Amino acid sequence: MTQNRLASALALMGSFILFLSQTTIAIEIRAIITVILAFVATVLFYFYKIRANNQSTTISKARLNVLYFFVAISFLIGLYSLLAL
């Protein structure tokens, strides 16, 4: 159940970033929202990791890599948008 919620949250954040890139929102707002979404993804990751440790299970390596990739891409997009000002 937690895996489904985590996957839906990541998909929702990814689609929201794609939506923001298609609209005419100012670059500053888009950068701030992207960095906030990366922070939320990081918090979700650590929450999921702590919860998995409490249940004596391990996070699969592929899921861990997807979370790292999403957080890294979000921060890079945010930094690029901030530097483009």
Residue-wise pLDDT for 2-12, tens only, equals 556 666 666 66
Q: What is the rounded CA–CA span in Å between residue 73 and residue 38? A: 8
Residue-wise pLDDT for 37-73, tens only, equals 777 777 777 776 666 665 555 566 666 677 777 777 7
Domain definitions of the chain by residue range: 2-83
SS3 annotation, 24-58 = CCCHHHHHHHHHHHHHHHHHHHHHHHHHHHHCCCC
